[in-house]
Each structure stands twice: as C-alpha cells, then as structure tokens.
Structure 1
Amino acid sequence: MGKVAFLFSGQGAQHPGMGKGLYDREPAVRELMDALDHEMPGLLELCFDGSKEDLQKTENTQPCVFALDLACARALVARGIKPDAVAGFSLGEVAALTFAGALSLSEGFALVRHRGELMAQASEQNPGGMRAVVKLDASTIEELAERAGDCWPVNYNSAQQTSVAGLPEGLERLDVLVREAGGRSLPVKVSGAFHSPLMLPATEGLRAWLSEHPLAPTQTTVIANVTAEPYPVEIAEMNELLASQASHPVRWQQTVEMLVSQGFDSFIECGPGKTLTGLVSRTAPDVWAQPAETPEQLDKVLEHLEGSQA
C-alpha cells in the first residue's frame, strides 16, 4: 500500500450546513465541534445555519472551516486512519499544524480567529479581491499580472488554474488581458487580496502572536504552502514560515507533485467541499482522492482504504 495524506480545506470552501451530517453521526466530530463552540459561542449555528453572506466574512469563515477541517480528521483517526503526511490550503495549514501537534486545539483555534481578524483588518486597510484564472499556464498569468500592475499570482492551484490577488483596478486590467490571451478570469468568494503583499500587515500581526505562542515540533510531516517542502525543525523558522504564509503564494500544485513523487497515492480532503480533491485529480490523475465531509464520503474513504489494505 502507498502513503496516505490528509489535505485540510481553506477559505472559499465554506457553505451553509457544512459538517451537519458528520456531526450528527460521529461522536468524535461532536466532541471536537462542541468544544470549539464553547470557545466561540455560535460557531455551530454559523456552520449549520449561517447564510452564505455570514460565512463569507473572513472572521467567521476561518474558525468555521478550521473546526470542520479538524473534525473530519478526528473522525478518520477515530476509525483507525492515520496519515503519513498532512498539508493544508492557506487557512488549512493552521489546521494541519494543529493536527500534527505544533499547536494545541485551543491554540490553533485562537490563532485562526486572530488570523481571520488580522486579514480582515488588512483587507480594510488595503481593499482588494481575487480572481481564479483558468485556461492559461502559470508563467503566462505571471506575465499578465505584471503587465496589469497592482495584482500578483497567489495560489498555484493546478497547471491550468492560478489565483491572482490585488487591488480592484489591477484585477479589472487583468480581466481584460486574460480575455485577450484566451483565458477566463472568475471572481473568488473571499473578502480580500489574500496571500499578496497587501496582506503584509497580517503577517506582522501573526509574527507578533507567534513570538508569544511559538509552534512546537510536529509529530507528523506537514508540507508548507510557501515552499512546498516539509516544515523545518527549527522553531523560529517554523514560526516565520507560518507568519509569512499570509502574504506569500500558496504552491499547491507543487505540494501535490512533491507528495506524489514521495509515494503518496491516497489523498483525503478534510473539511468542507471538494475543491482540493479536484485540484489533486487535475495535477495527478492516477492517484486516489476523496473528500470526507459527509457520512457517505467518510464511508467511501473507509471502504477504499480497507480494500487497499486487504
């Protein structure tokens, strides 16, 4: 049998009712989400009954997605499934680090709430947005973003999809250039220019928080968004890598390629939606990838892994 990776969802994957089925069926999920609802009263109501608009606010999105990311992982572990490595997309990296023991559950939740507030504040200081650009390769998109100005490639999702963040006027110029080049540019449902230089105030705030609450060594390999390599062992380097992630690109395609090159052939998405599952399939069509947000999806994961071990 090959190796198993847990992939933790990021912002943009949220949706009303997320996690309700798993919460109702899985005791491990209830225990974790109830504990986090105690720390942030109203969390469960937001996840299960919140409107799209409520869930799109960064300060709400981040704790809700974090909670469900870890709840899905907790359900898998309770059924005897343990990963050989973990990675998380953007916000999901905090969940991955928490799962791997670099942060306690309470610390990870506090960090993710603080991160959401810092990114919301940075978005108010430097209002911007994001686009997902498809049908063009990354190098072309980098060139177009440079020509447009005031926008930067920030999420290298797959060979044919790169997200760009920036100021509204920069993104409008980019839309025109992308169309002329034969690509498509689609708005991303987030409230800021995440992972761009416009988020440097958030990186500064995270740096300050991590200086008071440093990460601990990980018990499981965690792949970093910024480098697409395992987190280092030096605590100061770990802290800086996580802080800088808010204002640096997410190298997701490279992360998947690196894991596949290391013998990973089963990828389980922990958290809402199936965005990461789709990105894995586009980058590495020969590997198995499956979300685990609903009871039915969790059962499929269990069936596959039990079958591959038989």
Structure 2
Amino acid sequence: MNAYIFPGQGAQFSGMGLDLYENSPLAQELFEKANDILGFHITDIMFEGSAEDLKETKVTQPAIFLHSVILAKTLGDSFKPDMVAGHSLGEFSALVAAGALTFEDGLKLVSQRAQAMQKACELQSSTMAAVLGLADDIVENICADTEGIVVAANYNCPGQLVISGDVEAINKACEALKDAGARRALVLPVGGAFHSPLMEPAREELAAAIENTTFSKPNCPIYQNVAASAITDENEIKANLILQLTAPVRWTQSVQQMIMDGASHFTEVGPGKVLQGLVKKIHRDAKTASATLESNA
C-alpha cells in the first residue's frame, strides 16, 4: 500500500517551488492564487528570499504547505494514496491532498495557525530541545520531574524525541537528560514551545477558525499526529486538528501503525527528505522516495 507523507516546519529552503512554477501551468495558477489569498507575494520570498526571510513563521508554514500541496496536485493521476500523514504543519498539507480540505481553506487555516503560534511565542520566553539516545519513557519521566513547563513534543523516531516548554525548564531538563545518559540534549533555534501547553492561546484562536471551516470525508485514511491511527470522520479530524497545537506529534507511533495497516512504500511530498530518514529509522525495510514533478511525465 502507498503512504504519502508531508513534512513540517524546518524543511524550507531558498528557491523552493520555483521548478514547479516554471514547469507546470497548474502550479503557476495555484501559486498566484496563494499570493492573492495571503495578501503578499509569498512566491517572491520562496523563490528568491534568503534562509533568514524564510524562517519567519508567517512565511515558513504557508511556504512549506504550498510546496507540498502544489507538488501533490501536479502529480495528477499518479497521486493515488492509500493513506496519508503529515508531521505537525504537514497534517494540513495531507488533509488538502486527501480531499478533506480545499486548497483555499487549507491555506487560510495554515496562515491563521502561523500567526496564532507567533503571537503565543511572544507571550512567554519558550523553546524546544532535541534529545537523542534515550528511551521515550525516561525522557517523559525527567520532563515530569522537572520544575516548570516541559513536555515531550515530537516523537520522531526511536531514540529521537523533541521536548518543549519554558526556557528555564528546558535548560534544567537538558542537564538532567545528559546526566541520565542522553547522547545529546540540544536546544533548538526555534521561537517557541510548539506542541506544549504554552500554545494554548494559539489553540483557542485556531479552534474557532477550524470550527468555521467545511471539512469533507478524505479520499483515504489520514493518520493524525494526536491519534496515531487511521481517521476518516470529518468531526474527528477537526477535533484532532484543534488538539494538535498543544499535544505531541506522535510520528513514530503513526508510522508504526501505518506499517501495521499495510503501508509498504512511503513517498514524501514537499521540501526535503527528513521524513524519509525518520521512516527508515522506525522501520528499516520500508521503501521510501521523494515525489517529483517528473512523476507526472
């Protein structure tokens, strides 16, 4: 069975999407529509902006979403997913690709999500840290024992977990994790504590927007970050999407479940190859590939 997976924040690069724009009339039309919806020329930043320009949250999230979704749409009849999943932001790309959300509504929600997260980040000094080489339960226990707000945020693959919280608690937890034998406990260059209770203001803001958006039954199951299981019900999809901002990304568990449900080939749709690497670490024998415009040839 074919699983299509969609990357999240951090996969952006300067020049992203330019090949699609130049080689596909459909892509060109969708990019121009995106400029109109967003009210600024995101294509200029994607195609010509610096890495610094692309790091701004209000740009990063729509840029990755657009790259992924427009690439999926240019694949035409060759895009036949049996199941989809997206890492954090990538869940929105997956929902549009699977027909649960329109392109326009998906982009509007992603833009609102980015701005809501940016605002939440500015309310309190917070960050995230990558933890390598420790079992999940050890990381969870240390987070629970650390004073302040610090939680497991991204279960990326066995032995690789990202924690999220207020700066002081993250620093304390990193020291404790190193003492417990972590190979690395490294604070990440991010602007806030994504997928933690500190995103509650953003969750509330996004919840209203999601509730007012029409969702359709997807063409195939989506394995959502919160549930790590196959979801096809529109109301469940909405509820999980609202919970996603303050709940952990259960990527390891999602991929494991997809494999149990018959996934044998994972195609990453969007910038970068990070998810393919994670899939291989979760299940060494899984076949992985990148979607390319040429797939339509």
TM-score (norm 2): 0.93
Match of 1:155 in 2: 154
Question: Which residue of 100, 103, 121 maps to 2:101?
Answer: 103
1:7 aligns with 2:5: yes
What is the deviation of 1:95?
A: 1.1
Instruction: After superposition, give the CA deviation of every residue in 1:237-290 in whole Å (9 maximum; x if it has no partner).
Output: 332211111110010001111111111111111111111111001001101112
Match of 2:35 in 1: 37
1:281 aligns with 2:284: no
Match of 1:137 in 2: 135
Secondary structure of 1:155's aligned partner: strand
Single out whichever of 198-207 and 11-20 deviates more from structure 2.
Answer: 11-20
Q: Specify every segment of 5 or more residues in structure 1 that has no aligned partner in the other structure, as ranges.
A: 304-310
Taking the aligned partners of 1:127 and 1:218, their CA distance within structure 2 comes to 38
Taking the aligned partners of 2:31 and 2:282, their CA distance within structure 1 comes to 32
What is the deviation of 1:64?
A: 0.5
What is the deviation of 1:236?
A: 3.5
Taking the aligned partners of 1:231 and 1:189, their CA distance within structure 2 comes to 33
Structure 1 runs (4+) greater than 4 angstroms displaced: none
Checking the alignment, whether the CA contact within 8 Å between 1:87 and 1:222 is kept in structure 2 is: yes
Single out whichever of 98-107 and 26-35 deviates more from structure 2.
Answer: 26-35
Instruction: After superposition, give the CA deviation of every residue in 1:139-182 in whole Å (9 maximum; x if it has no partner).
Output: 11111212223210011000010110111101111221122222
What is the deviation of 1:37?
A: 2.5
Q: Number of aligned pairs?
A: 294
Taking the aligned partners of 1:205 and 1:185, their CA distance within structure 2 comes to 32
Instruction: After superposition, give the CA deviation of every residue in 1:200-229 in whole Å (9 maximum; x if it has no partner).
Output: 111111211122224222222111110101
Taking the aligned partners of 1:64 and 1:282, their CA distance within structure 2 comes to 27
Taking the aligned partners of 2:193 and 2:276, their CA distance within structure 1 comes to 24
Taking the aligned partners of 2:72 and 2:188, their CA distance within structure 1 comes to 26
Secondary structure of 2:78's aligned partner: coil
Taking the aligned partners of 1:213 and 1:21, their CA distance within structure 2 comes to 31
Instruction: After superposition, give the CA deviation of every residue in 1:180-207 in whole Å (9 maximum; x if it has no partner).
Output: 2222023334321111010111111121
What is the deviation of 1:75?
A: 2.6
Alpha carbon RMSD of aligned pairs, Å? Answer: 1.8
Match of 1:211 in 2: 211
Amino acid of the residue matched to residue 258 of structure 2? L
Match of 1:192 in 2: 192
Checking the alignment, whether the CA contact within 8 Å between 1:10 and 1:65 is kept in structure 2 is: yes
Secondary structure of 1:218's aligned partner: coil
Secondary structure of 1:264's aligned partner: coil
Checking the alignment, whether the CA contact within 8 Å between 1:11 and 1:190 is kept in structure 2 is: no
Match of 1:253 in 2: 252
Q: How do residues 38-117 of structure 1 correspond to structure 2 at under 5 angstroms?
A: 38-40=36-38, 41-76=40-75, 78=76, 80-117=78-115
Instruction: After superposition, give the CA deviation of every residue in 1:65-118 in whole Å (9 maximum; x if it has no partner).
Output: 110110221232x25231111111111111111122221111110000001011
Amino acid of the residue matched to residue 226 of structure 1? V
Checking the alignment, whether the CA contact within 8 Å between 1:12 and 1:188 is kept in structure 2 is: no
